[in-house]
Amino acid sequence: MDVRFTPQMYINHYASQRGITVEDIGVAPIVVISWAPKVIQALADSTDAQPAPHWPWSKRYLFYTGQVRRQRVSFAQVGIGAPSTITAMEEMIACGARVFLWLGWAGSLQPRAPIGTFLIPTNSIREEGTSFHYVDDDTAVTPDRRLVESLKKAAQEEGMKVVLGSQWTTDAPYREYCDKISAYKQQGVVGVDMETSAMYALGRFRKVAVCNLLVVSDEVWQEWKSASYTPELKAATEQAIRIILRVLAGEDLLK
């Protein structure tokens, strides 16, 4: 079915109204995204990336572009949740982005994945509303296999363990029912977040590579336990940043 307007239409209109080209917006083919401004700032500082002032949302969200191992890379802050993340990714794709790495946080449904564990979701239970506008209801949404292997390898080289498995994505973090958590735990689902399934669905629909690296910030398999704002979670997030930087420096992600 045809849509009334596309991300490309919006980006072309935005550029024409400002007298710039789409290339002037400054989105690189490889993009690392997160909703945490400190993560984006740390990645930019580590790579000497520079602000991209023509990005449409640069007054609200951080956006930097630089170079890592002769590859142009952007580091972009987006809003929390599937709709906001997918809207931004659509616009980045319209500007030429082809590879996305996400660094975020998740709740854990498994005792074997305590706070500070690194997760790579390999498939998703879709309980957000965005993905159903991109792929059929029964379509499996999965990450790019090459990016999965790159993240695993980088983590191993940093001496860190990652857990691969199913991810539950929901729009309603305050409606994670105890009986549903117990059922998903029994099924082996590892974590819960608000973006993964929609991001993987978009990757499938737009034929771009997407893979998410998540840090466990909360345990929800029994009484809620959170590490938000703690030194423990800060240290784990810094480790995750090193994993991402190692992936960027390790190989040509556009091959």
Residue type for 210, please?
V
pTM value? 0.97
* Residue 1 reports pLDDT greater than 80: no
> What's the confidence (pLDDT) of residue 120?
98
Q: What is the C-alpha separation between 198 and 252, in angstroms, rounded?
A: 25
Residues near 148 by beta carbon (within 8 Å), at least 6 away in sequence: 120, 122, 164, 211
The number of beta carbons lying within 10 Å of the beta carbon of residue 136 is 8
Q: Where does residue 103 rank: exposed (0-12), middle (13-18), buried (19+ CB within 10 A)?
A: buried
pLDDT tens digits along 3-31: 999 999 999 999 999 999 999 999 999 99
* Residue 255 reports pLDDT greater than 90: no
Task: Give the DSSP per-residue string, 177-192.
Answer: -HHHHHHHHHHT--EE
> What's the confidence (pLDDT) of residue 22?
98
User: And the tokens for 249?
Assistant: 């420096």
In 3-state terms, what secondary structure has residue 198?
Answer: helix
Which whole-number Å values give the CA distances from 34 to 85, 195, 219, in the listed order?
Answer: 9, 10, 21
Which whole-number Å values give the CA distances from 37 to 61, 63, 103, 107, 122, in the listed order?
Answer: 8, 10, 11, 20, 26
Residue % of the chain over a pLDDT of 90: 95
Lowest mean pLDDT among 51-55, 90-94, 190-194, 248-252: 248-252
